[in-house]
Each structure stands twice: as C-alpha cells, then as structure tokens.
Amino acid sequence: MEPTVIASVVALLVLVVIVILWLSLRRLRSVPSMLLLCTGIAFFATACGGDDESEFLQSRGLSKEMQGSGQTANRSDAEMTVVGGIKQWDGPPLGLSGGLLIDYMDEYRATVEMETVGGQPANGKKIVMDLWFSVFIRYQKGNVTRSVNNFVFLAREGFFDGHTFTVGPGKLVRTGDPPGPITGAGYEFDDEPTRNITHDRPGIVSMWNEGIRANAKGTNSSQWFISLSPIPEFDFYDEDLNLRDCRQSGASCHTPFGLVIEGMGTVREIVDGDRIKAVVIERLPRGGSQGFRDSAIYPRDPPAE
C-alpha cells in the first residue's frame, strides 16, 4: 500500500480516537483531561501534516524547491498511459482526495530552456515565467489555480520537452501540443474566468483551447501560448467588466496564468518549428514572485477582493 494511503488511514483512526475521547471527556473539566485531549489533537496534526513530499524528493536527490523536467513529486490520481511515446492521462492532475497538487498560495517560476530559436541552435537562450498565485482559497473564482496546477504537473512530468512552437502573426507564439496525431494530454478542463490578470500586454502566458463544447465543457488541456502584443479579445470580461458569452460563435476566451519576466527578446525571435529542450519548475519562497508581487513588470498584487 502507498505510504500516503497508510498515513491517511492512520490519521483517520487517530481522528476517531480523538472524537471518542472528546465525547468521553466533554463533561470533565479537569486539567489532566484537557491535556489528554490536546495531546490527541497534536498527534492527529502530526499524522496529517508529515513532510511526505520532502522524503519523496530526497529519495531522488531533489530539493523541495527545484524539480526539473521528468523529475516529479506529482502524485496525480489520474491513470497514465503511453500512446505512441506520448504520456496521456485519463483526467486532470488531482490528488487522491480530489484536491489540487499545489497549495493555493504556492508561488512558482518556470524556466523554458530552448533547443532552437530563430531556426538556429539556442545556445543557452531561455524564457523565464512567473506563474500566477492566489492569496485566497482555491475554490474562489478567478484564481486560475487549476491552470497553474496543470502546467506545473505537466512540466514536472517532462511533457513539454521537445515540443515545438507555432507563431500566430503579431499575436502570439503557441506550444504544448505533442507531435503526431495526438492532441493534448488526454483530458480537458474548464476555463477559469478571471479579471485578476488579462491579455493586456506582451509576455502574458495563457491557456490555448478550442472553445466551449456543446455540453458547456471547456477544452483546455496542455497547449499554452505567450502573447506578443495585447489581445483583449481573449479576455473573459469586456472593457466595461461585463462577462462575455464565450459560447458564442467566433468568441475566443483564454485563461491567462503567468507572465514572462526574462527572455521576451527570445520569445520575439521564435519561428515556426523552434523546439523546447526542457521546462524546469521552481517553487519560490513566499513573496519570491517577481512577476506578480511588488513588480515593476506587472505591478499588481493579487487583489484583496
């Protein structure tokens, strides 16, 4: 049995014991009784909050802050298969409990190491992107945490390694689609309408999709793009802050989730067919994001609304 499952079972049993203790002692006001109850609660917190991820990473020689492509602390509950050499999953990256694989306040930086730029060897050229983070619980609308969660997961799995870019004239450079007939990562997930970050400048990192299906489900998967200029027609809200109907024919709504903080010149040099060598994910210390906290590049803290 997986260690995480064992830990969950143990934590559940401890919780049951605590409840029984509480029911037994609720009428007793003595200090020893209260100390016994507090000890049980502390033990439960320890059982639930063990640093299991650190042990996982240390066993592979990785730090808790840096995981490169193909080296992963991911534990998605989705089942993975390999089709034609391409990893595919039967659902979006979620944990055993159905939650995201990242914490809602985690700050991440992605470094896209290029293999070719402008049709020539990249010679170390790279694109550094800060990913949007939330100061709110993950279920609040507009936090785009599912998009960040998805990108971090796929990058850690090495999914983007070797992918090529397609250039949309004057608008964007797009990537994330595996070679061959396969499209995406095997699953799709819904848009995350947001006003916290918009396509208002070059360097916005955003999800690419094929619109909304007839069943009102979104078509986000693995494709993403970097804007070369403002693209307000991709925003979920119009200039009067009215939510657009993204189901209309011709509408194109996309979830922005990051910002280029270094290497925009490299982005502008990209031509069709330029290839990604690897995408490296770094988890930053709290307050470490240059793109979205106290930044001259994008001077907006996550809004306290």
Please name which of 60, 77, 109, 92 lies closest in space to residue 280, comparing C-alpha atoms.
Answer: 109
Q: Which residue has the higher pLDDT, 48 or 218?
A: 218
* Structural domain boundaries in the chain: 3-48, 66-284
Please name which of 207, 304, 200, 197 lies closest in space to residue 253, comparing C-alpha atoms.
Answer: 207
The pLDDT of residue 117 is 97
User: Using alpha carbons only, how large is the chain's radius of gyration in Å?
Assistant: 22
- Per residue in 130-165, pLDDT tens? 998 765 544 445 566 889 999 999 999 999 999 999
CA angle 293, 57, 150 (to 5 degrees): 50
How many residues belong to the chain? Answer: 305
Torsion angle, CA of 235/237/241/247, rounded to 10 degrees? 160
Over 60: is that where the pLDDT of 28 sits? Answer: no
- Per residue in 241-251, pLDDT tens? 899 998 888 88
Angle between helices 31-48 and 3-25 (to 10 degrees): 160
Q: Please give the CATH architecture assigned to the domain spanning 66-284.
A: Beta Barrel (2.40)
- Per residue in 209-252, pLDDT tens? 998 888 889 999 999 999 999 999 999 998 888 999 988 888 89
DSSP 75-131: --SSPEEEETTEEEESS-S--TTS--SS-TT-EEEEEEEESEETTEE-TT-EEEEEE
